[in-house]
């Protein structure tokens, strides 16, 4: 057949003047002697085109064929091409590609952050089950919920990916379909590659709008899941007694500077995590930050209402003191005096009503702790010794009851902030002998 696809190209040379495809009589203009006859010809053809839609399909096909075979067809087609190219260019110039949608970017980032899109973390639902099995044991309740969350997340992930794939496939199918259609149509009407390109981009835009909806609803689902499972405020678990004791012992034995270093936090977390399993499944919520939270809360609440914590402070201080004494009497032990695991288990203290036994020596030492550049391990000994001293009742006169256990580390501004650098959990290298002068008062 003579029906070649006529994909338009800008270099096809569709210019009016001297176009090789134009028959000579077309290039002579319309003013010739036989011009009226030609006009009549064109008028007939146009008339046929106009009425073609009113005809039945068979009739139309026949007409179409007749038109295709018409001797004027190549010339008319080229004119059409030229007109079209000009209009298409003007259309294309009007709408340039827009910048990436910020909303879409936000959704993409979130899906990536939540682990829905992006690289799979170990194999979907199978991984969730494996994780559940692996983390089984301590904190079964917690890890069960955790794995439940992961299973649900991987479910969402799976749905998201299958849907996305479906959309992509549909998009590709539709695109090829449209392209085939356009190619087919290019036999009968001029179609430029740019036009095809534009059509494809329109299709892609439509599909990406659909994808955006998918992403949006996936994000919503993840947020709901998160709030259901991971919102720590909703799922708060109190520490158990042992963990609280460990933390309190550290706090009160470092009362002058209750800012554990990262290593100290890690160690404390390790100690507590064994008994607590207070592990939050959030992405940035490690056991260390749990310790940080605890110390943050403790510092604030202690400072706010020191009186309320007096008894507790005394108890832990005494405990630590005894532990330190035991350690030193047993020779040079490497054990930590500041965070003894079994300090309370000796049962040798009955401090429940001991509050009024303690009298502060705080008024005697002023702010000397703040400037002292001693290690906080020593400081912990100082804290401890202060209590040991006060326990002897040596400084009982002239002090009011509400001064019983003043916050040694708290300065005039009510802050610990300028206290010496944080310490380690592990045992001090210096002995109690290196304690500075204020304890001897």
Which residues are at the interface with DNA (CB under 7 A)? 231-239, 244, 259, 262, 278, 280, 282, 285, 289-290, 292-294, 296-297, 299-301, 303-304, 308, 414-417, 422
Q: How far is the CB of 295 from DNA (least distance, A)?
A: 7
Using the minimum distance from each CB to DNA, give the nearer residue, 250 or 294: 294
Q: Between the CA of residue 5 and those of 20, 72, 184, 192, what are the distances in Å? A: 19, 17, 7, 11
Instruction: Report, in Å, the least distance between residue 235 CB and DNA.
Output: 6
Decide whether 246 or 361 has the Cβ nearer to DNA: 246
Residue nearer to DNA on the CB measure, 108 or 145: 145
Residue with tokens 């030609």: 38
Sign of CA dihedral 179, 184, 185, 188: positive
Q: Scanning the structure block, which residue is given the tokens 């203290």?
A: 349
11 vs 233 by CB, closer to DNA: 233
**Residue 291 Cβ vs DNA, minimum distance, rounded to whole Å:** 8
Q: How far is the CB of 402 from DNA (least distance, A)?
A: 17
Name the residue among 187, 213, 197 with its Cα closest to residue 101: 213
- Two tokens at 311? 């008894």
Helices (H), 56-188: 57-69, 73-94, 102-113, 124-134, 140-185
Torsion of CA 22, 28, 33, 36, to 10 degrees: 50
Q: Which is nearer to DNA, 218 or 257 (CB)?
A: 257
C-beta of 77 vs 294, nearer to DNA: 294
- Rounded to whole angstroms, how far apart are CA atoms 313 and 307? 10
Instruction: Tell me the two tokens of residue 434.
Output: 């290196």
Question: Dihedral of the CA atoms 38, 42, 47, 50 (nearest 10)?
Answer: 180
Nearer to DNA, 86 or 235 (CB): 235
Q: Which two tokens stand for residue 98?
A: 């827009």
CA separation for the pair 75, 388 (Å, rounded): 111
Please state, in angstroms and rounded to a whole number, the distance separating the CA atoms of residues 201 and 224. Answer: 34
Residue identified by tokens 């914590």 is: 309
Identity of the residue, 236 or 330, whose beta carbon is nearer to DNA in the bound complex: 236
State the minimum distance, in angstroms, from the CB of residue 239 to DNA.
4
Q: How far is the CB of 139 from DNA (least distance, A)?
A: 12
- Distance separating alpha carbons of residues 302 and 324, to the nearest angstrom: 24
Q: Measured from the CB of residue 259, what is the shortest distance to DNA in angstroms?
A: 4
Question: With 0-12 CB in 10 A as exposed, 13-18 as middle and 19+ as buried, what is 371?
Answer: exposed
Q: Which residues pair with 191 in a beta bridge?
A: 7
What's the min distance (Å) between Cβ of 149 and DNA?
14
Cβ neighbour number for residue 300 with a 10 Å cutoff = 10
Provide, rounded to whole angstroms, the least separation between the CB of residue 119 and DNA.
Answer: 25
Q: Which is nearer to DNA, 37 or 282 (CB)?
A: 282
Tokens 């270093």 label which residue? 261
Cβ pair 73, 190 in contact under 8 A? no
Handedness of CA 247, 249, 251, 254 (dihedral sign): negative
| DSSP per-residue codes, 194-258 | HHHHHHHHHHHHHHHHHHHHHHHHHHHHHHHHHHHHT-TTTT-----HHHHHHHHHHHHHTTTS-
Q: Which is nearer to DNA, 189 or 235 (CB)?
A: 235
Q: How far is the CB of 236 from DNA (least distance, A)?
A: 5
Indicate the residue among 160 and 229 with the shorter CB distance to DNA.
Answer: 229
């Amino acid at each position: 057949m003579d029906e070649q696809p006529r994909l338009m190209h800008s270099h096809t040379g569709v210019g009016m003047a001297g176009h090789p495809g134009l028959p000579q009589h077309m290039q002579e203009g319309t003013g010739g002697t036989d011009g009226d006859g030609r006009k009549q010809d064109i008028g007939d053809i146009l008339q046929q085109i106009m009425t073609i839609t009113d005809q039945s399909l068979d009739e139309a096909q026949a007409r179409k064929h007749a038109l295709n075979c018409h001797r004027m067809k190549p010339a008319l087609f080229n004119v059409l091409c030229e007109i079209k190219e000009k209009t298409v260019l003007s259309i294309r110039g009007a709408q340039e590609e827009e910048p990436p949608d910020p909303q879409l970017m936000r959704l993409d980032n979130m899906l990536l952050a939540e682990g829905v899109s992006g690289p799979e973390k170990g194999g979907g639902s199978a991984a969730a089950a494996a994780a559940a099995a692996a983390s089984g044991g301590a904190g079964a309740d917690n890890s069960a919920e955790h794995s439940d969350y992961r299973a649900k997340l991987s479910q969402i992930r799976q749905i998201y990916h299958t849907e996305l794939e479906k959309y992509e496939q549909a998009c590709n199918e539709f695109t090829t379909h449209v392209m085939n259609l356009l190619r087919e149509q290019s036999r009968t009407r001029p179609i430029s590659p740019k036009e095809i390109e534009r059509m494809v981009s329109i299709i892609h835009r439509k599909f990406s709008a659909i994808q955006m909806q998918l992403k949006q609803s996936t994000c919503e689902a993840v947020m709901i899941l998160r709030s259901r499972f991971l919102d720590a405020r909703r799922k708060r678990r109190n520490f158990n007694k042992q963990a609280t004791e460990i933390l309190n012992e550290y706090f009160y034995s470092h009362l002058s500077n209750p800012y554990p270093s990262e290593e100290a936090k890690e160690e404390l977390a390790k100690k507590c995590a064994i008994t607590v399993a207070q592990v939050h499944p959030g992405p940035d919520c490690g056991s260390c930050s749990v310790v940080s939270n605890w110390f943050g809360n403790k510092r604030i609440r202690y400072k706010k209402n020191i009186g309320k914590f007096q008894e507790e402070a005394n108890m832990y201080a005494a405990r630590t003191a005894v532990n330190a004494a035991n350690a030193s009497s047993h020779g040079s032990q490497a054990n930590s005096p500041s965070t003894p695991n079994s300090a309370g288990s000796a049962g040798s203290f009955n401090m429940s009503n001991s509050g009024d036994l303690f009298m502060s020596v705080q008024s005697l030492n002023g702010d000397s702790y703040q400037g002292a550049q001693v290690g906080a391990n020593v400081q912990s000994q100082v804290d401890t010794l202060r209590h040991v001293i006060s326990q002897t009742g040596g400084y009982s006169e002239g002090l009011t009851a509400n001064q019983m256990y003043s916050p040694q580390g708290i300065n005039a501004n009510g802050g610990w902030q300028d206290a010496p650098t944080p310490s380690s959990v592990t045992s001090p290298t210096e002995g109690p002998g290196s304690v500075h002068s204020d304890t001897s008062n």
